Each structure stands twice: as structure tokens, then as C-alpha cells.
Amino acid sequence: MQLFATKQHVFQVGGVTIGGQGKEYPTVLVGSMFYSGDRLVSDPTKGIFDRRMAKELLDRELEFSQMTGNPRIIDIIAETAEAMRRYIDFIVEAVDSPFLIDSPFPKVRLDAVAYLSQLGLVHRAIYNSIAVDCTPEELEFIKDHGVRSAVILVFDAEGVRPDARLALLKGTEERAGLITLAVNAGLENLLIDVGVLDMPSISWSAQAIWRVKEELGYPCGCAPANALYTWKRKRQLTQQAFLARAAVPITFSIAFGADFIFYGPISNSEWAYPACALMDGLISYGARIGGIKPATKQHPLFLMF
């Protein structure tokens, strides 16, 4: 079960281990904060937010991380450079976990890189993301500021099948692959996000994860929560009915080898961590047949069964 032919890369980012074979390391879970519409945020332009509630959510997530053995990464999403700096200041003081610098606007991400470089905290940050629309100037900037970890988003609306996503990573005669671009930019810890289009396409994303790990060996994952909430808005569901369904898309890709999962708002930690941990434990137990054992005692196989 989950024995890949290619030797698997294992990366250390801010004290968190990501990658490996047969769930020797637990799935890393990524919860988002300060996103558009987050009830924590009262002013997304200035980055004004409820610090007490944010700290409570982080503490709650930490409890589930320790209970299950699944490490965490905090996804900081901001709409402006001013807001991003406020969020970074809070997160680096509140937790010792690594975090993503995430924004739909490149200039916000790059300002965050410069700010973290000034603070001497680039080693804790993961740039999100290097994608097909990434410019040479953006790549040069992160190289000049010593960024070593990044999410590589492998998604193009014109090519959503697993083969197309793999081609984006590997490149063609006409176009350099995203891995080559990332390595040339000085990046060392590459986390491959295969992208998710909608709920049904999670199955294709899972297949793409398997292909990436089988052929290239990089840590791989996706963000099924994006599709989950789009799907939820189209249906009238009780909270119990939603949660019964939500665990499926969040854990499905783990069965195909996902090393990290974006599980949506950090408030989901109460159900997302136990669901992912149970999947990890099942896979890890099955991998024993192939001689793969957990590489850490803080593993769901030991903590959840």
C-alpha cells in the first residue's frame, strides 16, 4: 500500500517534516486564516482582526495537532501588504509553526518576503505559490531574498487531466517546467499542489498526486476545501449532514499519497484533524506489509488507535 517506485524527497520546513513513503510521516494539515470573508477580520485593508479569537483558534488547532500527531502549517491570506505585515507579526509571536505567505496579489506576497527578510524569519515561511503565471521578476525577487520553501501550484484551466499537470512540472521543449523554474530561483523545499477545480475533479487531483510521487518523488497535496465550500453553497444541508460529507473530499487524496492537505478555515480543525489522522493510521498500518514503518512516535497510528 502506497509504495512508490521513486525515492521520495523529505523536506524539513520550520521544524515540520513533509514527504516520505507509505505515511512514514503524518499528513501535514494547512488551515487558513484572514481569508476574504473570515469573521476574524474587521478591516481586510488595514489587517484589523480579533486577536483573542484568532489565538483561541490557533490554540484549539494545536490541541488537535498534538492529539493526532498531524503537524500543522498556518496559511496566512492577505489582500494588502499592510494587512499581511500585521498578520505575520501576530503569527510569529503566537505560534512556532511554519506558515504560508498567501495572497491573490503578487505584490503583497513579495512585500511579505521583503518584510520577513528584514525580520530574519524567511526560514519559517513558505511562498504560495509558484504557478504558470509567475513572472521572471517574481522569481528573481524571491531568489534575492533567500526564500527556500514554496508551494508549486500545478494547475492550468486548459489542461486539468493528471498528464497535463505532470507536464507542467516537467516542462516541454518549448517551455521550462515549474520545477526547473523553482530550482533556478533558489528554492529547495518544493511542495507540489496539484490544484482542485471542483468536487468531481478531486479524483483527478488524487491521481495527479500519485503520478507526481511515483515519477518525481516530491511532497504533494491539494486544497479540496476550496471545492467543498463551493459545492456546499449549492445545497441545503444540516451541519451534521455537511460534516458527514466533508470528511470524504478532505481525506480522499491522502489515500493516493498526499503529504499535505489544505483543509479550509482553521475553525475546521476539530473535525479535519481526526478524519485525516484516521486515514493516515490505516495507510501506515497497511504499509507495514511493504516494510514501511512510522518514522516518528508522534504518529496517528500510535495516537489514534
Q: Specify the DSSP element, H or E, that contains 264.
A: strand 260-265
As a whole number, mean pLDDT of residues 55-66 equals 98
Residues 264-304: pLDDT tens digits?
Answer: 999 999 999 999 999 999 999 999 999 999 999 999 999 99
pTM for this model (two decimals): 0.96
Residues 168-198: pLDDT tens digits?
Answer: 999 987 788 999 999 999 999 999 999 999 9
Separation CA 9–CA 259 (nearest Å):
11
Give residue 295's pLDDT.
97
CB 275 within 8 A of CB 249: no
Residues 67-79: pLDDT tens digits?
Answer: 999 999 999 999 9
Residues 136-153: pLDDT tens digits?
Answer: 999 999 999 999 999 999
Pairing of strands 48-49, 41-43: antiparallel
Class of residue 207 by CB neighbours under 10 A (exposed 0-12, middle 13-18, buried 19+): middle
Q: In the predicted model, what is the mean pLDDT of the chain?
A: 95
Residues 86-106: pLDDT tens digits?
Answer: 999 999 999 999 999 999 999
Domains of the chain: 10-292 (3.20.20.20)
CB 4 within 8 A of CB 213: yes
Give residue 46's pLDDT.
98
171: helix, strand or coil: strand
From the CA atom positions of the chain, what is the Rg in Å?
18
CB 94 within 8 A of CB 57: no
More confident residue, 247 or 236: 247
Number of Cβ within 10 Å of residue 141's Cβ equals 17
As a whole number, mean pLDDT of residues 235-263 equals 93
